[in-house]
Amino acid sequence: MGESRKPRLAVLKFASCDGCQLTLLNCEDELLDVAGAVEIASFPEASRAVLAGPYDLTLVEGSITTPEDAERIQQVREASRFLVTIGACATAGGIQALRNFKDVDDFISVVYAHPEYVSSLATSTPISAHVPVDFELNGCPIDRQQLLEVITASLVGRRPVIPDHTVCQQCKGRGTVCVLVAHGTPCLGPVTRAGCGALCPSVGRGCYGCFGPVGRANTNALAEHLLAQGMAPADASRLFSTFYSGNEVFGRQSVTLRARAGSDSSEAAAP
């Protein structure tokens, strides 16, 4: 009897900074075990060798921002048995989703000397807006251990076990003093999904929400608390308009706060 075939892994990129792909390369000790357990069929960040699909597991980084990408993701989906989106760009549109609040042609005309050569969609959207996705792994960038859990789970045929609690809970677990309560520092920890190890609060900075909203996030209650502390509505709006501005929960809260700032406010003009 012949040796069984290794599962085929593809790691692909759309509009992104490559940081989530680098998380896999930064797995260090575990990387050799991963490489031994799968056949890396396509990973342009690490190798020029590219094998055609089908793929058993495809990790997709980046958002859809061009007509060409909108077509290519359809081909990727057809070639993938299990498709996982990794990072804020792939799961929510990323930082580039800030363009969704404005006319993208205005940006193109200012940034590029020859805007007629630029082909771009009006919005930056997550992969799930275009094709069915089997699992989403959040973060900017994603967490190394969570990524290894996703790969391991796919190899043994189970659903990944990723925590769905807040950064606040991570702060409590590590004994970090609450920067929001103790110091009045604006912090998205009460509504943000755990995964970073509460890194920013551990050094006295507020959480920026780089792992996206936790399930059942009460963003309105947090927004009201920030306003009660004296934060301007326009500034609170910007707090929700960073890594996950394209996410419905954070995006809706940002728009609500911006409207509250008043249409005549110059501060409310930008997300």
Convert the pLDDT of each residue in 132-189 to its tens digit: 999 999 999 999 999 999 999 998 989 999 988 999 999 999 999 999 999 999 999 9
Residue 228 half-sphere exposure, CB side, CA atoms within 13 Å? Answer: 8
The pair of structure tokens assigned to 175 is 């004994």
CA 20 to chain centroid, in Å, comes to 9
Cβ neighbours, 10 Å, residue 267: 14
Q: Cα 107–112–113 angle (5° rounding)? A: 135
Check if the beta carbon of residue 52 is closer than 8 Å to that of residue 3: no
What is the model's pLDDT at position 4? 67
**Cα–Cα distance for residue pair 244/253, rounded to 1 Å:** 11
Check if the beta carbon of residue 79 is closer than 8 Å to that of residue 55: yes
Q: 3-class DSSP state for residue 268?
A: helix
What is the model's pLDDT at position 252? 95
What is the model's pLDDT at position 83? 97
Which residue positions in the chain have pLDDT lower than 50?
Answer: 1-2, 264, 266-270
Check if the beta carbon of residue 237 is closer than 8 Å to that of residue 188: no
Dihedral sign, Cα of residue 125, residue 243, residue 120, residue 57: negative
Contacts (Cβ under 8 Å, ≥6 apart) of 221 = none
User: Strand order in 39-42's β-sheet?
Assistant: 39-42, 8-13, 55-61, 80-86, 135-137
What is the model's pLDDT at position 268? 44
Phi-psi region of 243 (alpha: psi -120 to 50; beta: other; left: phi over 0): alpha
**Cα–Cα distance for residue pair 59/54, rounded to 1 Å:** 13
Q: 3-class DSSP state for residue 52?
A: coil
What is the model's pLDDT at position 136? 97
Check if the beta carbon of residue 211 is closer than 8 Å to that of residue 194: yes
The pair of structure tokens assigned to 115 is 């805007």
What is the model's pLDDT at position 265? 52
Crossing angle for the helix pair 248-261 and 219-228, to the nearest 10 degrees: 30
What is the model's pLDDT at position 32? 82
